[in-house]
Amino acid sequence: MSSTIDLRSDTVRKPSPGMRRAMAEAEVGDDVARDDPTVRKLEEVAAELYGMEAALYVPSGTMANQVAIKTWTQAGDELIAEAHAHIFHYESAAIAAISGVQPHLIEGTRGIITADQVAARIRPLNVHHGPTRLVCIENTHNRGGGSIYPVDVVRDIAALTEERGIRFHMDGARLMNACAATGRKPTDYTQYLDSATLCFSKGLGAPVGSMVAGPADFIEQARRWRKMMGGGMRQAGIIAAGALYALEHNIERLAEDHENARILAHGLVETGLFDLRPPELDTNLVFLDVGRSGMTAFELRDAMAERGVLFYAEGDGRIRLVTHLDVSREQALDAVERFKDLLLTV
């Protein structure tokens, strides 16, 4: 039987042998007591990567975003985000449950919002409104199809938030994908932000963890919220070593994932049965409209799973395929052929 090609997410890849060795050999301590040397090194490296004063290692991207929101806001405040943002759709209503903050949502273009749109949503000082305290963007934007924020848009939003005394946070879970696709440095984006996250357990290939970076006093308060949310870890150097390895070895190779995504997208669109939706392809996230395939997204998902190709259905009409370091060029080509075998065999 042919091997399984898992395109569900870039979270499903496995640690490489080199990463496993680094983790097995990691020097450890008690991270809550701040004496795990590997975690401390990771936080220093991550802060330097983002050009921030400090960084905090947390178990997940959701926690990274939520400790940032909790640190920058108080209950009854309002934050501005794009209508399809990860913090709104995929974080279990944590904005409301943990921070007591109301999201004020903007419909963007492929997940991208502009300074003019943000300006129109900032609440005036009035007893009828929760004050706008935070603007959040996502780069790359998941539901936008892995779309990349233009640096000038980030700069313009930053100028607005600074003028209005509002904090500016970026969900940068896949920021390294944006950098690999554009040739930009992380600091080209983060220089304009008050805080930002990075996920180690997506395209970078580590098994666990994310970080949030920002000013030193912000990180000190965020450390308390991490503990409150159950994110205080003990001998976390074992997993932090995987994240360090990822930063040292797996950033440049993200371009391979983007090329394999193009192979998948172009091969499937050429069948005449699929349309890219959105029609642009920036990074490693491929969204396809299945309308002409003769099957719903769920039917196609189940039929292809029987042929060893795994992916997610996004409602009846759209599927998502994600390339990562465990998907080779040959597997991307093979996946296209398995789709054709299902849909084009007479």
pLDDT of 83: 98
**For the segment 54-91, what is each residue's pLDDT rounded down to a tens digit?**
999 999 999 999 999 999 999 999 999 999 999 999 99
Residues with Cβ < 8 Å from 225, sequence gap 6 or more? 66, 67, 70, 71
What percent of the chain lies above the pLDDT cut of 70? 99
Which is nearest to 175 in space by CA: 134, 208, 210, 206?
210
214 DSSP β-pair partners? 54
**For the segment 236-263, what is each residue's pLDDT rounded down to a tens digit?**
999 999 999 999 999 999 999 999 999 9
**Given 220, 249, 278, which residue is the final one in a domain?**
249
Q: Domain total for the chain?
A: 2
Average pLDDT over residues 268-282: 95
Residue 97 lies in a domain: yes
Residue 306 lies in a domain: yes
Which is nearest to 260 in space by CA: 199, 198, 314, 336?
336
Measured between alpha carbons, how far is 246 from 3 in angstroms, rounded to an integer?
A: 26
CA distance to 129, 131, 132, 179, per residue, from 126 (Å):
6, 8, 11, 40
Average pLDDT over residues 38-43: 98
The kind and range of the H/E element at 249 are helix 237-249
pLDDT of residue 1 exceeding 80, the answer is no
**For the segment 148-198, what is each residue's pLDDT rounded down to a tens digit?**
999 999 999 999 999 999 999 999 999 999 999 999 999 999 999 999 999
Q: List the strands of the sheet with 318-322, edge to edge.
A: 275-276, 285-289, 318-322, 312-313
- Angle 263-268-272 from CA coordinates, rounded to 5°: 140
CA distance to 84, 88, 216, 265, per residue, from 161 (Å):
21, 20, 20, 37
pLDDT of residue 346 exceeding 70, the answer is no
Provide the residue range defining the domain that includes 326: 253-343
The CATH number linked to 231 is 3.40.640.10
Residue 135 lies in a domain: yes
| Residues 308 and 167 occupy one common structural domain | no
pLDDT of residue 111 exceeding 80, the answer is yes
Q: What pTM value is reported for the model?
A: 0.96
The CATH number linked to 265 is 3.90.1150.10
Task: For residue 36, give the DSSP letter.
Answer: -
| Residues 28 and 121 occupy one common structural domain | yes
57 DSSP β-pair partners? 211
pLDDT of residue 296 exceeding 60, the answer is yes
Residue 12 lies in a domain: no
pLDDT of residue 235 exceeding 80, the answer is yes
| Residues 112 and 156 occupy one common structural domain | yes
pLDDT of 315: 86
Average pLDDT over residues 103-127: 97
Q: Helix axis angle, 297-306 relative to 329-343, nearest 10°?
A: 110
| Residues 260 and 315 occupy one common structural domain | yes
Residue 89 lies in a domain: yes
Measured between alpha carbons, how far is 125 from 78 in angstroms, rounded to an integer?
A: 12
| Residues 54 and 195 occupy one common structural domain | yes
Residue 158 lies in a domain: yes
**Given 223, 249, 275, which residue is the final one in a domain?**
249
pLDDT of 339: 97
Measured between alpha carbons, how far is 107 from 82 in angstroms, rounded to an integer?
A: 6
Mean of the per-residue pLDDT values for the chain? Answer: 97
**Given 249, 270, 296, which residue is the final one in a domain?**
249
